[in-house]
Amino acid sequence: MRTICAISTAMQPGAIAIIRMSGANSFAIANKIFRSASGKDDFKNKYMYFGRIYDGDEFVDEVLITFMKAPNTYTTEDMVEIYSHGSVISQRRILNLLLKNGAELAERGEFTKKAFIGGRIDITQAEAVADMINAKTDMSYNLSLKAFDGSVRDFINGLADSLKMLIANIEVAIDYPEEDIEEISYERITNTLESVKNSLDEHIRRASTSTLIKDGIKTSIVGVPNVGKSSLLNTFTREETAIVSNIEGTTRDMITEYIDLEGISLKLMDTAGIREASDEIERMGVAISKKAIKDADLVLAVFDYSKPMTEGDKEIIDMVQDKKHIYILNKVDEGENGEYLDHFEQNAKYILTSLKTGEGFEALKDMIKEMFLGGEITQDDLVYANIREMDLLNKAHSAISEALNDAEAKQVYDLLIVNIRGALDSLLEILGEKLDSEILDKIFQNFCIGK
């Protein structure tokens, strides 16, 4: 495999930068450009050495360097890490020196891909690395950390082992029907399949909640102009993210912000006011607002409770009916107009607020948590799963359900085993044992270069 290199820290000025290299030629390439301050050139495994990087006779930077021998490294290959000053110029010059001396620039996620190919981690742990890096809340980070520690692998391996044993017993019954071997009963098959299905049911339920926490709840803030949409966004972010003005149509572009709602990531989208637009630019903004409603997991529909309802208000109520939504009756400090309640559907979720004073905002946050999590939730209630894994979990669940139906109907073993094998294949694909190269490449394209 090729020897790769990349800058692992952010490409911006800082105190220290890390340039890493992995592959069979890592040590030889590093020795061409590094001179130890002590004059040594026989470097011990995983010791840190102080010295200088040179381009021929030209001094480049003063650095610390570590040589790490295979197989006990992140990638399972020989690795070198260079800790330079955090100058962008220094980082680039050292990287270019490695390339000039035979290394190749790493692709996105290639260091972690090498760890997967080398067998140090499975694909769920590799995906968890990317999610740890991109986590937006403490709870999301901790979820990814559990997966990196092997929690998903251990769960899937347990189910896979049960199915492998079941398949082996059924195959014995198929291949040696005349031998004096105790035949596996349909009752035993059913019990095993029910146990696997129940475990999958619980795992999928917990993973569905985790996916919302990890990926964030797409939340659209909508309303007619000048009802307090931007004020709501600013209250969530606690800063002047959006311009607040009494002039209608101030917000024309959709503004997106991520916020941490006590462990839940909300992807807040403040949209243009929905009304009859006065120009083409505003019409485009209104169209984007309507699309944001369709794409949202949650719609926060804001109304000016101090004023009579408008046709735009009524249109918004109609537009959000097939989405999870909360009505926010804002500006209660300026007056109240009860006709809004008459137009809401039965058992509608709504909050009275004054975003100017903060009244009702804590109740709104509690309502969002209750709507998506059923109230308080602890780390132990959650399990990690990304979109790819959820799809495969559902495929495995569907195959197990079909196999259960076959077992209860006492179908012949040759037919029964097909769906059991299908479930096992889906579970093994979660761990990367059945992945083709195209899917593998797509997974690692989500990584940053240097990881």
Q: Is residue 443 part of a domain?
A: no
Over pLDDT 70: what percentage of the chain? 88
At 43, phi and psi to the nearest 5?
A: -95, 135
* Residue 49 tokens, joined: 């050495």
pLDDT at 244 over 70: no
Based on the structure, what is the number of domains in the chain? 3
More confident residue, 432 or 66: 66
Verify that 304 and 239 share a domain, yes or no: yes
What is the DSSP-derived secondary structure letter of residue 381? G
- State the burial class of residue 358 (Cβ atoms within 10 Å of its Cβ: 0-12, 13-18, 19+): exposed
DSSP count for the chain of H helices, then E strands = 15, 13
State the CATH number of the domain containing residue 288: 3.40.50.300
400, part of any domain: yes
223 and 197 assigned to the same domain: no
**What does the pLDDT average to over 92-108?**
95
Same domain, yes or no: 231 and 318: yes
User: What pLDDT digit, counting tens, does each position of 39-94 carry?
Assistant: 887 899 999 999 999 999 999 999 999 999 999 999 999 999 999 999 999 999 99
- Report helix, strand and coil shares of the chain as percent, to nearest 5: 45, 20, 35
Q: What's the pTM value of the predicted model, to 2 decimals?
A: 0.69
Residue 250's pLDDT is 41
Domain end point (choices 103, 121, 139): 121
Question: Do the beta carbons of residue 335 and residue 304 sit within 8 Å?
Answer: no
Amino acid at 39: G
Model pLDDT for residues 223-240, shown as the tens digit of each residue: 888 888 888 888 888 754
394 phi and psi angles, rounded to 5 deg? -65, -35
pLDDT tens across 197-211, in order?
999 999 998 887 777
Of the chain, the percentage scoring pLDDT greater than 90 comes to: 45
- Paired tokens of 91: 């980082």
Indicate whether 259 and 397 sit together in one domain: no
Instruction: Please say whether the beta carbons of 301 and 326 come within 8 A.
Output: yes
Considering the domain architecture, whether residues 302 and 191 belong to the same structural domain is answered as no
Q: Which residue pairs, CB below 8 angstroms and at least 24 apart, start in 374-383? A: 377/209, 377/263, 379/139, 379/142, 379/143, 381/206, 381/209, 382/139, 382/143, 382/206, 382/207, 382/209, 382/210, 382/213, 383/143, 383/146, 383/151, 383/152, 383/155, 383/203, 383/206, 383/207, 383/210
Contact partners, residue 334, CB within 8 Å, separation at least 6: 306, 354
Region 94-104 average pLDDT: 96
**Residues 296, 220: Cα–Cα separation, whole Å:** 6
Summarize the confidence of residues 395-417 as an average pLDDT: 93
Does 62 map to a domain?
yes
Indicate if 17 and 80 belong to the same structural domain. yes
Pair (155, 231) in one structural domain: no
> Does 450 reside within a domain?
no
Higher pLDDT, 173 or 6: 6
Quote the distance between the C-alpha of residue 215 and its chain's center.
5
In this structure, is the dihedral angle defined by the CA atoms of residues 377, 382, 386 and 387, taken in order, positive or negative? negative
Among 89, 121, 153, where does a domain finish?
Answer: 121
pLDDT reading at 247 higher than 50: no
| Residues 64 and 53: beta-carbon distance below 8 Å | no
- Both 230 and 365 in one domain: the answer is yes
Q: Are residues 261 and 341 in the same domain?
A: yes
Return all residues near 5 (Cβ < 8 A) that are at least 6 apart. 19, 20, 21, 22, 95, 98, 99, 103, 104, 105, 106
In a domain? residue 368 = yes
Whether 447 maps to a domain, the answer reads no
Q: What is the Cα–Cα distance from 227 to 232, expressed in whole angstroms? A: 10
Same domain assignment for residues 148 and 245: no
- For the record, the structure tokens of 346 come out as 């039965």
CB 209 within 8 A of CB 260: no
* Domain closes at, from 74, 98, 121: 121
Average pLDDT over residues 16-40: 95
d(CA 47, CA 21): 16
* Range from 16-30, 54-68, 111-125 carrying the lowest mean pLDDT: 111-125
Specify if 437 maps to a domain. Answer: no
Q: What's the domain range around 36? A: 4-121
Q: Are residues 145 and 28 in the same domain?
A: no
Instruction: Give a yes or no: residue 439 inside a domain.
Output: no
